[in-house]
Amino acid sequence: MEGTTIPQMEETTKPVPPPISQEPPLASVGPTMATPNDVVAPKPHDTTSTTTPHEATKVFTGVTPQEADFSSQKSSKGSLDRDVALSQLENEKRSSFVKAWEESEKSKVDNKAQKKLSKVATWERTQNSKLEAKLKKLEDELEHKKAEYAEKIKNEVALIHKEADEKRAMVDARQGQEILKAEETAAKYRATGQTPKKQLLGFCGC
């Protein structure tokens, strides 16, 4: 009998574990259905609980409101930085486009001016060539006229020389005729013994 009574006393003195007052973790809740023995009565609402809304939020979301605000601020800052970067990129693209347009317009203006300057240079060369050709023509004409005038003058000089020679020949012929006549008359006077009627100035007795 002693062997049987001792175990009963030990069972009455063995401490009983306290009932489970905490809710099972959310991860332990599964799709399997609980048995009647596993059902735990809901914990009565404790008005003295020290759990704050922030902690409750962290329990269900894993993120505190401060972290959520910081994440929101970080997200908004990232969005603002992205907008600023996009705006800068758009400005750079616009600036590049404007610069390219400006360079294109300047190139067009330069090409247009170069074409006009080329036309002016071509016109100047053409006019100079025309004037040089005209001057050359005038020089040729003058040379031709000069040669004609020179030939004409030479011909006139030759004619004058010829006429002078003819006049000299006529004078010489007349002189010869008059000398011959004087000799004949003198011979006649000698033959007849007469004297000339006309007295020479040297024989006038002066």
pLDDT in tens, the chain (206 residues): 444 444 444 444 455 555 555 554 444 444 444 444 444 455 544 444 455 544 444 444 555 556 556 566 666 667 888 888 888 999 999 999 999 999 999 999 999 999 999 999 999 999 999 999 999 999 999 999 989 999 999 999 999 999 999 999 999 999 999 999 999 999 998 998 888 776 555 544 44
> With contact defined as beta carbons under 8 Å apart, do 40 and 30 qualify?
no
The pLDDT of residue 85 is 87
Q: What pLDDT sits at residue 113?
A: 96
User: 60-73 burial string, b = 16+ CB within 10 Å, else e?
Assistant: eeeeeeeeeeeeee
pTM: 0.38
pLDDT of res. 75: 66
Q: Is 192 exposed, middle or buried (0-12, 13-18, 19+ CB in 10 A)?
A: exposed
pLDDT for 124 equals 96
Q: Which amino acid is at 206?
A: C
**CA 197 from centre of chain:** 117
Alpha-carbon radius of gyration of the chain: 76
Helices assigned H by DSSP within 36-64 = 53-61
What pLDDT score does 178 carry? 94
